[in-house]
Amino acid sequence: MERNLEASRLLFSETKEEFIEKVYIWAQSNKELKPSESCLIEVGRKTSQYGKENNYDDIIGEIRREYNDYEGKLNTYKHKLNIDKEQYIDKCEGKKQEIEVWINKKDPEPERENKVIINREKLKKRKYTFYTILYGCRFSR
């Protein structure tokens, strides 16, 4: 009986060591979630104390904490990208509308001051013919 108990303890200890090795192998091969060295050390420590002071949830809790941190950073980055995308879409729509306005304009003219616009309206009311400088000049090659 004593021999079986000792064999079971040895097997249990070997199983814990194998589990620790598998965790380290998993951490190295994992492409997305890279647990920190301190997390791996803590998982190893808690695995070694498994059954005496810790349970499975304590061990997994360390990895879960790293995962939650990673997921939080990923969600923040994803949210930032979505905001940037919406801003670019809004800018694009604004530019499309601006282009549409320019296409639909009869003759695009430069911006004018209010006094120029008022003077032109006065000339129209008095039925004076006026030309902008672009129409008054004839360009030849």
- At residue 129, φ and ψ (nearest 5 deg) are -90, 130
pLDDT-above-90 percentage for the chain: 25
More confident residue, 139 or 105: 105
> What's the rounded mean pLDDT across residues 136-141?
57
What pLDDT shows up at residue 9?
86
Helix (H, G, I), strand (E, B), or coil: what is residue 53?
Answer: coil
Q: Confirm if 70 and 33 have CB atoms less than 8 A apart.
A: yes
Is the pLDDT assigned to residue 95 strictly greater than 60? yes
Q: Copy the structure tokens of residue 127.
A: 């039925």
The domain ranges of the chain are 2-104
Please state, as a whole number, how many other Cβ atoms lie within 10 Å of the Cβ of residue 6: 10
Q: Residue 109: pLDDT above 70? A: no
pLDDT exceeds 70 at position 37: yes
- CB-based contacts of 60, cutoff 8 Å, min separation 6: none
